[in-house]
Amino acid sequence: MKNNFGKIGILFLMLTAFSSVGQAKKWTLQECVEYALKNNISVLQTDLENKTALIDKKTAFGNFLPNVNANASHSWNIGLNQNITTGLLENQTTQFTSAGLSANVTIYNGLQNQYRLRKANLAILASQYQLTKIKDDISLNVANAYLQILFNKENLKVQKELLSNDEKQFTRTNELVSAGVVPRGDLLDVKATVATDKQKVVAAENSLFISKLSLAQLLQLQDFENFDIADANYEPKESTTMLEKPQTIIDKAKQDRIEIKIAKTNLELAQKDISIAKSAFQPTVSGFYNFNTRVGYSQQVVGIVPNAQNPTSVIGQVDGTGQNVIQPNFSAVLGNPDPFFDQLSNNKGQSFGVQISVPIFNGFSVKNNVERSKVAFEITEIASKQANLDLERNVYTAITDAKGAINAYEASVTSLEARSEALNYAKEKYAVGLMNSFDYNQAQTLYANAQSEVLRTKFDAVFKVKVVEFYFGIPIMQTN
């Protein structure tokens, strides 16, 4: 008996585990936005560009520091070469080790290093602004895709409800035909309507799947087949932002929107490029220091002794007497080279100084760089003005679209109410035989279309109002 209870318990745990696995995660809008901001490819790429800007700043800071380099070499000389100790040409193999250290630092170069460091700081700021803009765009895209899924879900429910009603009508009409109450043609009309409804259900299911796939790709999810979102009820509501004057929204957007900040930063970057180019007209002053030493491995002269084989040699004669002038001959006594570290210490040498380079003529390259930088600044200045104009146009367009979407939603609600009354009236007439099945099906189709239109305009209004609020500085996840 206990064994049976144990088996039942294990079976229950297994069923519970399978049930929990089968329940797919339902994503909320906030979860979708947060996940996309962490995993979207565009965000990751822009984040890497931000890291590159930080590295460029380190490079600009490093320009203020001295360059220090060490060098070392070991060489073999084989054949006829001069013995640097005796000064004689000999067939020999000699070895030398040399080492050195050099350092140089820029003292002044027209403030180029300072300008480059300031530009690097601006580039970091611009990169951060660009990352923020990418995140804003992705947030809007995710919200739009999320609302599209909600619309497709609701629309699928409408189409399934319509199919269910028409299938019930088909069953009832079939009974009436069998009883001889209505003609067989009415049954064929209802049958065709049911077939059309099934097609609409399939189309709605496909639209729902495609919308889920689109959002899953924005989130960089691999298991898109099991991806689903949590059901939520978003309704168009009174927005205090929509009560603001368009100019107020534009002024707020110009103050806060990242596009304007990017344009201003790019303008400052272009100005720094001009300063860097102009600084090349000024002289460059640098300091340098060099240290070197060497080690030789050849024998060296440690003394002299009389030459036993050739003790003397004639070096001349005395004028008048012709007497030879004799000079004693000596031979060098060779010994081992000095110890390695002693040579390093004895053979060391140092040099240091200051160097100045004054640009006089360089094929107009500096002048052309300055002119090129000025043209780039003018282009950036125009782009900045265009960014302001684009923002104004986008805000006006967003406000107009939002108002139009709200009006369309209100009109669709009114239309749905009228279609609902018309359908109820058609049901009454159809029930007493005053309306044929074709006209009744038309009334049902118009009602279903009105339901779909309410759903479409509702989510369209929610999103477009959110765009206006977004320009006014309200975060995307405060949609509801």
Q: Is 185 contained in some domain?
A: yes
- Per residue in 131-178, pLDDT tens? 999 999 999 999 999 999 999 998 999 899 888 888 888 888 788 778
Q: What confidence category does residue 9 fall into, taking pLDDT thresholds of 50, 70 and 90? A: very low
Q: Is 195 contained in some domain?
A: yes
Number of domains in the chain: 1
pLDDT at 17: 42
Q: Is the pLDDT of residue 278 over 90?
A: yes
CA-to-CA dists, residue 362 to 365, 370, 398, angstroms: 6, 13, 54
pLDDT at 86: 58
Q: Is 355 contained in some domain?
A: no
Q: How would you write 61-96 as a 3-class SS string?
A: HHCCCCEEEEEEEEEEEEEEEECCCCCCEEEEEEEE
Q: What confidence category does residue 20 fall into, taking pLDDT thresholds of 50, 70 and 90? A: very low
Domain that holds residue 34: 27-39+109-282+385-480
Q: Is 244 contained in some domain?
A: yes
- Per residue in 377-401, pLDDT tens? 999 999 999 999 999 999 999 999 9
Q: Choose between 222 and 271: higher pLDDT.
A: 271
Q: What confidence category does residue 57 fall into, taking pLDDT thresholds of 50, 70 and 90? A: very high
Q: Choose between 349 and 183: higher pLDDT.
A: 349
Q: Is 167 contained in some domain?
A: yes
Q: Is the pLDDT of residue 79 over 60?
A: yes
Q: What is the pTM of this model?
A: 0.75
Q: Residues 6 or more apart from 116 whose CB is under 8 A from it?
A: 60, 63, 276
CATH number at residue 127: 1.20.1600.10
Q: Is 230 contained in some domain?
A: yes
- CA separation for the pair 198, 206 (Å, rounded): 12
Average pLDDT, rounded, for the chain: 85
Q: Is 22 contained in some domain?
A: no
Highest mean pLDDT among 90-94, 341-345, 421-425: 421-425
Q: Nearest CA to 141 among 231, 244, 220, 238? A: 220
